[in-house]
Structure 1
Amino acid sequence: MTRPVPTDNEIAIRNALEREYGSEIEFEDREEEDRPDFLFKLNGRLIACEATQVPQSEILQYNYKRGLYEVERTKSVGVQVVWAIEPHVWIAKAIISKRRKIVEYKKRTGASNVWLIAHTLAGSKDRYIRADQPWQFQMMQFGAASVAHGFKSVYFWDEVSGFSEVFRRGRSHKRPVLDLTDGYPSNAFTVFSSGEIKTSEEGASPVEYDFGEIEISQLIIPPFDPKFRKHQPKSSPPKRQGLRATAYDTHIDMSLYDLD
């Protein structure tokens, strides 16, 4: 690991690697805090391994901010943000962001090969990208093979489905054919506001609010990939939901609840 205190993602991925390979894997201890994220021997071969999150945090933040911009802060309202599932774009973006480091990693560590692990956020319940859905896995394979890079292998990992190898040097993958009859596959989340409520007085008991059903509009963000940009992401009318809030003296917690 490269930091004095490993991140939750690094801990989760290291534990997953140990479960996956058992006694075959041996992590190298390093005093110098440098890259890559992991350095280990696997069946006697030294491998440098970098890890990076997908979808990238800037993609999630962009979609969230788009929704937040549409929310009228003075009212108890919500906006359902519908956005395209683009595993090929996210995997390719992850590779492009890390590929320039491959030569440096090999030189510094003496590793024979460099791996990339694209992973979801450890501990998150959201599964915005999934290797256990065949079309998504095929899109990951296509994305990893569509850009030039020197990684020996590229893996996708999440806490539910574990490791999936989406790229190995020497293999090629064609763009899968998607059924877009009903629109482009999509994710959705809801951004909402409780209106103008304030934290409780310092030291005071929390104050509970129930706003009942709130109006939820919809914002649809088209695919980033130009090939699919003309296809509207699939969407259904937002569910009927109510909003509750608890005002503490330091912060406000808010949550939606289903009405149907």
Structure 2
Amino acid sequence: ENFNFCLMAAASGLGRGAVAALAVHVWLLSMAGGVEAFGRASFGHRAVQRLSPIWATMPPADMAGEDHVKAALARKEAEYREAQLHARAHQRGSVELASLPSLDSIDSRPYLTDEGKISSADPPSGTRASVYAIYDTHEHLRFVGISRDISQSLRLHLGRQPELCYFYKAMHMQSPSRMLLESVRENWIAENGVCPDGNDGEGALSTWEKPTDVNGLMTEEDRNAIDEARQIGREDGAIKKVARRFETQKVDVLKARGVTENLRFDPKLKGKGLLDLISEKKSAQTSMAVPT
């Protein structure tokens, strides 16, 4: 058991140089008189203090063996490699982050063109991801997001939050890490001084990043109508009817803003009480103003 203790000390990463020799001394002295006696000496006591965490993880004598030591060594090596990779990524990300423009230095774009189309974010060729900020009509920051397809994200946000999407800023990157993208988003939020409403908690995030859930917006009358429809097997149709009412409200806002994009809400989601736009390819030939 003491011999395995020395191997474990080496496997833990503490067994380099003098500490490795110290582990062997602990073993030899414990053979002669026990670790407890050795620990009474000042230097020996410090050695035992350093190695005791490893000693505490040792299995009972009947479980200790070569396989356990190999497994412990492999685990420690994996932990060391992961820590090194994380440290290098953090250092690289910090350097890249320092070279990126601040939110204030990026030009703002109107969300819609004069023709009622969503303004192109113009991601350059090779763009892998974008960080973007959305502003309301008063140019107050409402949401900061990350996207692998910013054009599609801008469409979805317009359908989910038509009252809040008036301006946006975007920065495109060709080979960013997830850590770098998230760091840019955090820096932009910090630069704003206060957390935008859309980034303030999971509930707020979902209103931007997920389909609009009308189930939580239903009135008591809506719920009673759905309960009655459920009894005759028409629950799906009753839920769709409620969803269409909220869809009409969104469409009215989009019309009032002069939107001419081909925007259509997914009919399959309405039966679940959800509202979200069909992807751009699917809705290319369909008018925005026709609820289904």
TM-score after normalising by structure 1:
0.25
Report which of the two has the higher share of strand: 1
Which structure has more relative contact order (CA 8 Å, sep 6+)? It is: 1
Q: Which has the larger radius of gyration?
A: 2
Report which of the two has the higher share of helix: 2
TM-score after normalising by structure 2:
0.23
